[in-house]
Chains A and B, each alone.
Chain A
Amino acid sequence: MASSNTSDVTDRLTRDHIGLSDTFAARRYFRKFDQITDHLGRVAAVMASERQLTHTDVGVIGHYVTALRRSFEALSMKYLMTGRDTGTFFGSLAFDAHESGFPVFRELMTMANDALQAERHLSAMMSEADLKSEMIRAIVGDLDIPTKLQFSLSQRLYYEELFTGRLFWAQNDPEAIWLGNSGDEERRSYLVHWAVYDSQVNLPTIYLLEIEDTGKTALPKDQRRWPQVQSHLMAQAVAGLKLLTIAQGFDKDFDDLHPKRLRRIHVGPMYSSAYTHQAGPIRQVLEDARAPEGQDWTLAWTVEELESERVEQSRKGWFGKVDREIFALDPFSGRGADTGATRTERAVILPERPYQVLAEMDPPGFRDVRKFVVGAGGRVLSYR
C-alpha cells in the first residue's frame, strides 16, 4: 500500500520530465540555449540603462548568466553523442517540458558530482590532440566513423569544462558586496547575492538581498555570523517560499542584520513549440509564428521585489530591543497577499516573429508584461 502510494506520488512529480534521446534534437536544444543566454546579458544591459537595475546588479546578474551559459555548454558536451551507438550505456538529458523548459535539477546535481571527480577522469584520459589523431587514423586507416573516439573526446571536453569551474551549480552560495555606509550610524550596507537551481520548478533563480549590518565585525569577515547567514539563506532559497517569508525569517534569526530590499529573479520558463508543452495564449503565439529553427522560443523573466516600509522596535529578552522590519506589500491587496512581495514585474524575451504574432493577438494576460524583442546582431527592443 505504502509503496504504491509512493510510486503514485513520484509519478506525478516526474511526469513532465522528458529525456532528449535524439542526437539532433539534443544539439538543437543546446544551440537554442546558447542563443538565449547570449541575449540575456544584453537584456540586462537594457534594464540597467533604464535604471531598473544598478551597475552592481547588472554585474551580479551577468556573472550568473555567464555561469549558466557555461553549465549549458558543459551539459551540451556531456550529451553531445546522445543517440549514437557509443558502446557505452549512457543516459540522455532529462528536461522539464512543462512550465520550465530547462534541464531537471538532478542533471545539475549529477554535474556537481562529476565535477568532484573531474581531475581523476582527466588524468586517466587521452589528451585532445591524441584523440584527434586517433580519429584521423580511424577515418583514413580503417575507413570508419570513430564514434567511440568522438564520445571520449566529448567526455573529455565535458570534464575540462567542469574542471575550470565557475559554472552555475545547483547551489551557488551567497557572496557579499559592500555598498557603502549609510547614515551617520555605523551601518554598513551590503548586497548579498546567491542563486539556486530550484528543484521544484527546475529553473535558475537569482536572489539579491540588500542588508544593513549593525554588528561589531563586518559581515563577510565575521567568522561566526557569515557562515550562519550563508547556510540560512541557502536553506531558505526555495521558490515555493514567498519573499516575505524569507525576509522575515532572516530578520528574526539575525538581530543585527536588517534586510531592506529583497529581489528574486526567476530566469525562465523557456517555451518552445518544438520542445515544451505549454498552456494558455503563449502556445497559440508560438504555433502561429511558425518561426524557423532558432526563433521559436520565448523566455519569461520575472522579478519579484520586496521592500522594507518601516522599522519598529521590538522587545528582545527582558531588557534588549531590536529592530524589526515591516515590509511593504502590494497595495492591491488580494494580489499582494498572494505574492508576498511589494511588486512583481514580468517580462518576456522573444525573437521578432513570435512577437509579431503576440502583438497581433494581444492576449489580455500579456498587456502588463514587458516585452524584450531580440534580433540579429544583438539588437534589443523593449515594448510595454
Chain B
Amino acid sequence: MADFDAQIRDSQEQVAAAQSKISDLTSRIEIARAKLQSGDDIALDIENATLDEVHAHTDLMNANIAELIMGLDDVTSGFSKDFDEMRNKTGWESFVGVFSSGKSESLRQERMRNASIDDKLQDLIGKSDVIVKLLEGQLNMLNQQKSSVEGNLTGTLDEREATVGELETLRANILAMDPKIIALEGKISVEQDAAARTKLESELAALNTSYNESVQHEQVMLAKSQTLERYIEKGKTWVDSLQNQAATQMVLINKLQTDTKQRVVLYDALSKSLKTAQQQDVAHRINEIGVQTDQEAQAAMAGIGAATNQRMADMLEAHEDHMVFARKVLEQKVKADERFARRFQKIVEKHDKNLYGA
C-alpha cells in the first residue's frame, strides 16, 4: 500500500503546515494584545486576507484527510477479493478438478482451513488508527488555540467594559459641566465689578480647560474602545473559525471510528461464517463413515456451497432472536455518515465519480 502511505505522508505535511499557519495567526492576535497593553496603536495585523488564507489551507487539509478516509474504503475492497477466493476455486483447483473432482475439492478445503483475514483486520485497524491520530493531533491543537484565544478575549472584553464605563462617566461629567459653564457665562455678562469679573473669568477659563481636556480624553477613550472592539471582533471570528474547524475534525474522527468498528465486525463475521459453514457438516459425515469418504465429502460440499448464503442469513436471524434491542450503533452510524456527507459532499461526489484519475 505504497499509495496509502504516500497519501498519509502528504496529509501529515499538510496538517503540519496548517498547524503552523493557525498558531501563527493566534500568535499575531496575542502580539496585538500585547501592543494594546503597552498602549501602542494596533494597526491590526489580523487582516481578513490572512484569515482567508488559513481557511483555504485547512479546507485543503481536511479535503485531503477526507480523501484519505475514502481511500481506506479502497483498501478495504481488498477484503472482498478474499471472500471471493473463499467462495470459489482457484485456477489450479479448477484445473485439477478436470482430472479429479475429489482432489480439487480437498485442495479447496485445505485452503479454506488455512484462510485467515486477521492480519488484514489488524492492518485496517492500524491504518485507521494512523489517520485518527493525525486528526486527534489537529483537534488538540485547535482546542488549545481556541482556549488561549478565548482566554485572551475574556480579558479584552473586561478591559473594553471598563473603557466603556469610563467613557460613560466622562460623558456624564462633560454634560454636567455644560450648565456650570452657562451659569458662569451668565454671571460674567451681568457682573459690574471688575475684580469679581476677572475672578469669574479665570474660573471660566479653568473650567473651559478642564472641559476641553475631558472632551479630548473622551476622544482617546472612544478610539481605544473602538480598537478594542475591532480586536474583539477579529478574535471572535478566529474563535468561531477554530470552533468550526474543531467540529470538522470531530466529524472526521467520528466517521472513521464508526466505520472501522463496523468493518472489523462485518468482515470478521463474514469470513468466519464462510469457514464454519463450509467445513462443519463434512467433518461429521467423514467421522461417521470412517475414511472412505471422499465421495461423501463432495456430495456434502456441493450442497453446502449453495447453502452458505442461506446459513449466513439464518445465523444472523437466530442471533437476532436472542438480542436485546438497541439501535444505538446504527443511529450513530447514520449520524456520522450524514455529518460526513454534509461537510464533504464534493469530495464524496468526486470520489464516487472517480474523478481523481487512476
Q: Which A residues lie at the B interface, using CB under 8 A?
A: 6-7, 9-18, 87-89, 91, 94, 97-99, 105-106, 109-110, 112-113, 116, 170-171, 199-200, 231-232, 234-236, 238, 240-242, 244-245, 248-249, 252-253, 277, 279, 312, 314, 324, 326-327, 329, 337, 340
Contacts and interface: CB of A to CB of B under 8 A. Distances in A.
B265 A16 contact: no
Given A88-B140, A98-B324, A231 B276 contact: no
Nearest to B139: A89
Interface in B296-325: 316, 319-320, 322-325
Given A106-B265, A199-B265, 16 more contacts: A10-B330, A10-B333, A13-B316, A14-B265, A15-B326, A87-B143, A88-B140, A94-B261, A106-B125, A106-B261, A110-B129, A113-B125, A231-B116, A241-B279, A312-B290, A326-B290
Contact of B250 (A9, A89, A105, A337): A89
B297 to A, nearest CB: 10
Most buried by A among B273, B327, B329: B329
A249 B121 contact: no
B325 A13 contact: no
Contact of A15 (B118, B264, B325): B325
Given A89-B139, A113-B125, A99 B257 contact: no
Contacts of A234: 116, 118
B262 interface: yes
Most buried by B among A99, A170, A236: A236
Interface of B: 106, 109-110, 113-116, 118, 121-122, 125-126, 129, 136, 139-140, 143, 250, 253, 257, 260-262, 264-266, 268-269, 272-273, 275-276, 279-280, 283-284, 286-287, 290-292, 316, 319-320, 322-330, 333-334
A88 B276 CA distance: 41
Contacts of A12: 316, 319-320, 323
Nearest to B250: A89
B114 A235 contact: yes
Enumerate the 5 nearest inter-chain pairs by beta-carbon distance, A residue then B residue, closest first: A245-B283, A240-B276, A11-B330, A314-B291, A235-B116
A340 B279 CA distance: 12
28 contacts: A10-B266, A10-B330, A11-B327, A12-B320, A13-B266, A14-B262, A16-B324, A17-B261, A17-B265, A88-B140, A89-B136, A97-B324, A98-B322, A99-B322, A109-B122, A170-B122, A171-B118, A200-B272, A240-B272, A240-B273, A240-B276, A249-B279, A252-B110, A253-B113, A277-B324, A314-B292, A326-B287, A340-B280
Most buried by B among A7, A116, A245: A245
B329 A11 contact: yes
B329 A15 contact: yes
Contact of A244 (B125, B287, B327): B287
Contacts of A253: 110, 113
A97 B315 CA distance: 19
A164 B257 CA distance: 28
Most buried by A among B106, B262, B328: B262
Contact of A245 (B106, B279, B329): B279
Contact of A199 (B115, B268, B329): B268
B329 A6 contact: no
B276 A241 contact: yes
A200 B269 contact: yes
B265 A10 contact: yes
A218 to B, nearest CB: 23
Given A106-B261, A110-B125, A9 B266 contact: yes
A307 to B, nearest CB: 13
